[in-house]
Amino acid sequence: MHRAVGAERPAVIAIRPATPGDLDALLRLYVQLSAGNAATDPARTANAFAAMLRTPNLHLLVATVGELVVGTVTVVIVPNLTHNATPWAQLENMVVDETRRGKGVGQQLLRAAVDLAWEAGCYKVQLQSANEREDAHRFYAAFGFAPSSVGFRLYR
């Protein structure tokens, strides 16, 4: 998958699966998602990234402007026994570089993630977003996501 998007917006972006050379750019974006995401163990981080890239049902997408990675989202396709054994998709770790927000990058990334899920045969796409991220909630709602369930989390 490699598609040029964003024609009507200022930024001309492309969306593609992440490759091994994207690690540093991804880590810079994840710190913008939460300062607590700073990677403190390079070997552990590299191992996790390699595992993600070889996991068949996990799709780590990046949005690029030229060679620059400006956004990302992770899509996990979950095999399933309900809904006549139809898979579903979970989105996680969606972030656009803080200097590029409000220009349609996020919308196009989300479109690519949802398209990927539909192409994989999923019957739904879901995501969690922390209560305080009201801007992000507006962004997802504008796309068509409905806040239709209550999320529960148990942190270790």
Ligand X SMILES: CC(C)(COP(=O)(O)OP(=O)(O)OC[C@H]1O[C@@H](n2cnc3c(N)ncnc32)[C@H](O)[C@@H]1OP(=O)(O)O)[C@@H](O)C(=O)NCCC(=O)NCCS
Residues 113 to 132 in contact with ligand X, rule: CB under 6 A: 129
Number of amino acids touching ligand X (CB under 6 A): 18
Which among 20-28, 45-53, 80-88, 92-100 is the span making contact with ligand X, rule CB under 6 A?
92-100
Q: Are strands 58-65 and 13-17 parallel, antiparallel or unpaired?
A: antiparallel
For residue 10, the cross-strand partners are: none
139 binds ligand X (CB under 6 A): yes
**Residue 16 Cβ vs ligand X, minimum distance, rounded to whole Å:** 17
Q: For the chain, how far is it from start to end, CA to CA, in angstroms?
A: 36
CB-CB contact of 29 with 71 (8 Å): yes
| CA angle 86–92–93, rounded 5-degree value | 160
With respect to ligand X, which residue has the nearer C-beta, 121 or 151? 151
133 binds ligand X (CB under 6 A): yes
147 binds ligand X (CB under 6 A): no
Strands (E), 20-122: 58-65, 68-78, 88-96
Q: Which residues bind ligand X (CB under 6 A)?
A: 33, 94-96, 101-107, 129, 133, 135-136, 138-139, 142
